[in-house]
Amino acid sequence: MFAATRRFQGLLPVVFGCLVLAIGAHKAHSQPADELATRLATLRTEVEGLSERLAESKNDSRNELQSLARQKSDLQLELDREEVRLAKLRSVLQEKKTRIDESAERGDDLAPILEGAIKGMRAYVEQSMPFRRAERLGELDKLEEQRRSGVLTYGKALVRLWSFVEDELRMSRESASFQQTIALDGEEKLAQVVRVGMVMLFFQTSDGRTGYSKFEGNTWSFVGAKSSEEQKQIAHIFDSFKKQIRVGLFRVPNALPPVQK
């Protein structure tokens, strides 16, 4: 019994220490209870505010998605209408193109127009200044051959002929320097030429000879410069063109063709 009593007495300090610790912990926890309650209330208010804003954001997003869906539907309807309209336009265009092609293939109305126009242009080139005349006549020959072989329809041939006419008109407005073969004193020579529109044509050969094209009788020919003054004038023209000087006062030999009545 004494032994048991002594063991109990030995445990008393331990039990007392535990009670002291428990009482202290209880006091420590009971002190900030009000603060925790206040903090919890604050957090609950913040959560409720965030929930409200989230709900508003979801509602705004839902409304925006609905608006976009309506716009998409409207745009799709408009696109469908445009595709139908485009299909109709393509059908009408194809029908008209087929009619044009059939008419061009027949060429009942265009044949005499094309033949007369080519004949007139050929006569013009043959009587014009001898600037690359063989090449220009060759273009007309090629056009006629492609029409006969069926490579070109009458309509397309007329378009090509009009391009040829535009080139001829452009040459009449421009002055430029080129190389071409000329017939001089019965010999073929490669020469540098300066074309002034389609009214004057000057030449300069590699051996230093200069001259110009001249209309005599019913034909054109190339003649050499007759005097040192003409040679200087022609040399000045070529020197100016090499320097890209094409505007100014130039003294040139009288190489203009006679006026045709």
CB neighbour list of residue 178: distance below 8 Å, 6 or more residues apart: 131, 132, 192, 193, 195
pLDDT at 233 over 80: yes
pLDDT of residue 164: 95
The closest of 174, 173, 203 to 190, measured between CA atoms, is 203
**Cα–Cα dist 255/203, whole Å:** 12
- Check: CB of residue 209 under 8 Å from CB of residue 184: yes
Helices (H), 107-213: 110-127, 133-148, 154-173
- In this prediction, residue 76 carries a pLDDT of 83
The encoded tokens of residue 8 equal 């109990």
Of the ranges 173-177, 194-198, 243-247, which one carries the lowest mean pLDDT score? 243-247
CB of 161 within 8 A of CB of 152? no
Q: Strand order in 200-205's β-sheet?
A: 175-184, 187-196, 200-205, 210-216, 219-224
**Alpha-carbon dihedral sign for residues 161, 162, 164, 169:** positive
CA distance 119 to 96: 31
State the burial class of residue 219 (Cβ atoms within 10 Å of its Cβ: 0-12, 13-18, 19+).
Answer: exposed
pLDDT of residue 124: 93
- DSSP annotation of 256: P
Q: What is the pLDDT of residue 245?
A: 74
Cα 110 from Cα 116, distance rounded (Å): 10
pLDDT of residue 19: 44
pLDDT-derived band at 20, boundaries 50, 70, 90: very low
**Residue 207 — very low, low, confident or very high, per pLDDT cuts 50/70/90?**
confident
pLDDT score at 170: 92
Higher pLDDT, 148 or 13: 148
What confidence tens digit (pLDDT) does each residue in 38-96 have? Answer: 888 788 888 888 888 888 888 888 888 888 888 888 778 877 887 887 788 788 888 87
| Number of Cα atoms under 13 Å in the Cβ half of residue 89 | 6
**Nearby residues of 137 by Cβ (< 8 Å), 6 or more positions away:** 122, 125, 126
**For residue range 122-146, what is the model confidence (pLDDT) as tens digits?**
999 999 999 999 999 999 999 999 9
**pLDDT above 60 for 35:** yes
pLDDT tens digits for range 143-188? 999 998 989 888 889 999 999 999 999 998 888 899 999 998 888 9
State the chain's mean pLDDT as an integer. 80
pLDDT recorded at residue 7: 47
Q: Encoding tokens for residue 253?
A: 């030999």
Q: What is the pLDDT of residue 45?
A: 85
Neighbours of 211 (CB within 10 A): 24
- Provide the pLDDT confidence category of residue 202 given band limits of 50, 70 and 90: very high
* Token pair 């716009």 in the structure block, residue: 71
